[in-house]
Chains A and B, each alone.
Chain A
Amino acid sequence: MRLAREDRFAQIEPLLGKVLHPARYLDHEWGAQEQQDGPFHVCMIYADTYEVGQPNLGIAILYNELNSAEGISCERAYLPWVDMSALMRERGVPLLSLETSSPVASFDVVGFTLAHELVVSNVLETLDLAGIAIAAEDRDEDDAFVIAGGPSAWNCEPLAPVFDAVLLGDGEEEIVDVARCIRDARAEGLSRQEILLRLSQVESIYVPSLYEVVVDETSTRWGYAVPKKGSGAPEVVYKRCIPDLAATEPVAQRIVPYMGIVQDRFAIEVLRGCARGCRFCQAGMTYRPVRERPAEQVIEAVTDGLAMTGYDECSLSSLSTTDHSECASMLNLLNERTRDLGVRVSIPSQRLDSFGVDMASAVSGSRKGGLTFAPEAGTQRLRDVINKNVTDEDLERAARNAFENGWRRMKLYFMMGLPTETDEDILAITAAARRVLEIGREICGRPRKGKGGVSVSISVAVFVPKCYTPFQWVGQLERDEVRRRQQLLLQSAQDRDIRISYHDSDVSVIEGALSKMGRKGFEVIREAWRRGCRFDAWTDQFKYDVWLEAGRAVGVDLEEVATESFDLEARLPWDHTSPGVSKGFLQREWRRALGGVTTPDCTMTSCTGCGVCPSLGVSNRIAGDRHAR
């Protein structure tokens, strides 16, 4: 039911003294858009706590775009922590937006960003707390349109019954198109169904209710989606792609939170897309092509952004910042400008080579904390399978360079359960760590007592096959086998200066199942939420057994789903949406993976035929020259 738009902060205020971190619910942050005149109102939601959702750059971009569009206002909402939501339910207070404390159920459009698979139960919890029907088909004519986008929208089928529309690809123009389409259609007096039909004609908008699922001999057990007869909806919805990142507003993050948030710094997106072609990486396939922001635009934006926000740290954010063709000059100029202001410049990860270490040196100054590299696999054979184009020599050179430049702690990221992986690959992970440690000790010496020595930390994630990657057909490694390999890894370390951490195999099973399921997955999610699952990305809240029971209750074995392989020729549950990467390319990449054949980065060599540029009418936009390296 659509609620009235009114300020209801007075209902929240008495609860602030009774909950953890009341700053989550305060609003009035510096830079928040206080004028919310509308008359068309959108609420963007990150379905987790404020401190997790507020740093999201995607929401910040959409928030600015909507608020600068004529006649449209945009607010934010986050999911209250369990203490607050319990109090709100007890006192009959619905979920409120931050800027005006209006009920979320009073908005015209409610938009979710799906940042990862485990957010699904929180989406249901958010809608329920807001008083909005969870299933799109149960919503009234006047109810808000519930839309979604973001990295995990690529297989949104398990949540398809929830969303009126899903935005695929770059959202900055798309979100405004959607808001305008709904606003104009409302003004014309169109029915909800007519508005959905009109939305389906907007570029890159997927309207799930206009598709039906067909299960036949050409599909997996989850079937495939086809447009309903007479709907006029496209057979395949392609993503929206901004051709030139430099033409977009570079300063997205303008709101300065009061409380500490997970990435508490000014962030600027220096490039979008990555063409390195790691075969496990969904973002690498779905954000193509590569579009760089010119260095001078980045520097100007950082200068303006720091002055506007007052942050003392800025992050040059992207999938692979050190691949930016003007990375070195950009970092040096930024350092020069911020040297006397106590401002720290950071980059999210380093390329595994000497250039990566040089860039890390450029941003760290005299502060040498830990340095992080991601070889992803222990042997050259497996790195070739996953197309991680680095060698043992690269790792050794990078480690030597880093220790010589003053670092003492090294962190290495690996994955477990990659296709074709054997025990030899697992043992090679600790062997690589030992080699790095030896290099460190050779350069830095080995102090008699623990302090001041070198150390290596290994973090090992469980590989989860994701849609639109060359590994989308493979099954996830079974949970018991993951545990056996984790033990093998632990036992092989044998040096107290090598620290090992690994991901919870239970969480990975649910993540894997959610990545694979089709539309029927909604029944599992709804059942799990009814049984109390929420905040599944929080270790202390995740309930593996409840998820399994919920699956069984609706006839789905989640462990079996996660480990199931698909036939290479099968029609997949997500085939009706496309990031532009062709299925043929992904199949070819899978075959090359099995043969251990690598594929180069098209920004450094020639076209590798992924299909994005011709199908979307775009191309890589490199500011300088990547070949010059």
Chain B
Amino acid sequence: MIAMPGKPPIGKPDLERLRVRFGKDGRLAYLGHLEVINTIERSVRRAGLPFSVGNGFARRMRIQFSQALPVGAASSCEYYDLYLTQHVEPTQALAALAAATPLALAPTQAAYVAGRVPALEAWLTRSHWSVRLLGMGDAFEPECLDEALVRLRERGSIDFMRGDKPRTIGLSNTLVSWEVGSCAEELGMRAIDLSLDTRSSNLGALRPAVLIDAAFAQECLASTSLDSMRVLRDDQWHEGEDGGRIDPYDVSIAVRAR
């Protein structure tokens, strides 16, 4: 049986729940989560879809988003669940949304899921990230990055600042695995790719930039410069009780969850 962590779904049983996958690309990678939410909500209104409106004080659109993506991170796999008062063919809905959404946030897939599956934000617990690091000094070796990550995991947690507030994130549960690629060249700078698999829970989610910054503060990399990094979230799943990864559109899960 699927656990139902976090917020329950917001839809009434008679509403259609359309799950939409979308990307966050190019310069719009620098949008914050609230900015993405506002933009998508306005896109839905422009698309003319029969969206449902809540009855609360603020009368907001019934829509739920997957977990926040850090500012500066791109993605090809963000999701929202939109509650509709009438059935619209998913292909038609997708076309209407695509025509009304900025290209860099364009929807790529839409399908209905059962009304009672858990809310996306807490349900999607696993992410895969592709990170490209740029502008390391000549002394940099990929093995050093690997070594720094091993040490960090042994230490168990990272202390960092978010704005002016100190934060700590545990690594034993959030950092699932990583793979360091080989060195390449981009824009006249040394580049290296890093593949990351992370897990989130109500204790927190590991941001790739936090991990990389902490790695470059390790002794083995402390003297190595880093110009910038590009972060892309390229997959999200729910992690089942058996550790298996479940696709957000997996219909059987939706049925089992009812």
A340 to B30, CA, bound (A): 33
A9 CB contacts on chain B under 8 angstroms = 27
- In the complex, the answer to whether A342 meets B27 with C-beta atoms within 8 Å is no
Query: In the complex, which of the residues B27, B60, B61 contacts A28, with contact meaning CB atoms closer than 8 Å?
Result: B27
Q: Using A26-B28, A342-B53, A342-B59 as known contacts, say yes or no to A309 and B35 having CB atoms under 8 A apart.
A: no
- In the complex, the answer to whether B28 meets A310 with C-beta atoms within 8 Å is no
**In this assembly, does B151 line the interface, its C-beta being within 8 Å of a C-beta of chain A?**
no
Q: Which residues 1-55 of A have a CB within 8 angstroms of B?
A: 9, 13-14, 16-17, 22-23, 26-30
Q: Which residues 252-269 of A have a CB within 8 angstroms of B?
A: 256, 258-260
**In this assembly, does B46 line the interface, its C-beta being within 8 Å of a C-beta of chain A?**
yes
* Shortest beta-carbon distance from B73 to chain A in Å: 10
- In the complex, the answer to whether A367 meets B61 with C-beta atoms within 8 Å is no
A28 CB contacts on chain B under 8 angstroms = 26-28, 102, 104
* Shortest beta-carbon distance from A55 to chain B in Å: 15
Chain B residue, CB-CB nearest to A259: B35
Q: Which residues 203-229 of B have a CB within 8 angstroms of A?
A: 228
**In this assembly, does B144 line the interface, its C-beta being within 8 Å of a C-beta of chain A?**
no
Q: Which residues 42-62 of B have a CB within 8 angstroms of A?
A: 42-46, 48, 53-54, 57-61
- In the complex, the answer to whether A258 meets B72 with C-beta atoms within 8 Å is no
A344 CB contacts on chain B under 8 angstroms = 59
Chain B interface size range: 20 to 34
How many A-B pairs have beta carbons closer than 8 Å: the answer is: 77
**In this assembly, does A61 line the interface, its C-beta being within 8 Å of a C-beta of chain B?**
no
- In the complex, the answer to whether A340 meets B28 with C-beta atoms within 8 Å is no
- In the complex, the answer to whether A342 meets B61 with C-beta atoms within 8 Å is yes
Chain A residue, CB-CB nearest to B102: A30
B71 CB contacts on chain A under 8 angstroms = 17, 22
Q: Using A17-B228, A341-B53 as known contacts, say yes or no to A23 and B31 having CB atoms under 8 A apart.
A: yes
* Shortest beta-carbon distance from B27 to chain A in Å: 5
A341 to B34, CA, bound (A): 21
**In this assembly, does B32 line the interface, its C-beta being within 8 Å of a C-beta of chain A?**
yes
**In this assembly, does B39 line the interface, its C-beta being within 8 Å of a C-beta of chain A?**
yes
* Shortest beta-carbon distance from A101 to chain B in Å: 10
Q: Using A22-B71, A28-B104, A258-B31 as known contacts, say yes or no to A342 and B60 having CB atoms under 8 A apart.
A: yes
A341 to B52, CA, bound (A): 8
* Shortest beta-carbon distance from B248 to chain A in Å: 25
Chain B residue, CB-CB nearest to A14: B228
Kindly name the residue among A17, A22, A310, A312 whose own CB sees the greatest number of chain B CB atoms within 10 A.
A310
B39 CB contacts on chain A under 8 angstroms = 30, 256, 258
* Shortest beta-carbon distance from B23 to chain A in Å: 14
- In the complex, the answer to whether B41 meets A13 with C-beta atoms within 8 Å is no
**In this assembly, does B95 line the interface, its C-beta being within 8 Å of a C-beta of chain A?**
no
Show 28 A/B contacts (Cβ-Cβ < 8 Å), sorted by A. A9-B27, A16-B30, A16-B72, A17-B71, A23-B32, A23-B35, A26-B27, A26-B31, A29-B102, A258-B39, A259-B31, A259-B32, A260-B35, A260-B38, A306-B45, A307-B45, A307-B46, A307-B48, A308-B46, A310-B43, A312-B41, A312-B45, A340-B53, A341-B45, A342-B53, A342-B54, A342-B59, A367-B58
A contact residues vs B (CB 8 Å cutoff): 9, 13-14, 16-17, 22-23, 26-30, 256, 258-260, 306-312, 340-342, 344, 367
B contact residues vs A (CB 8 Å cutoff): 26-28, 30-32, 34-35, 38-39, 41-46, 48, 53-54, 57-61, 71-72, 100, 102, 104, 228
Extra inter-chain contacts (11) besides given A27-B27, A307-B45, CB under 8 Å: A17-B30, A17-B228, A260-B35, A309-B42, A310-B41, A310-B45, A311-B45, A312-B41, A312-B42, A312-B45, A344-B59
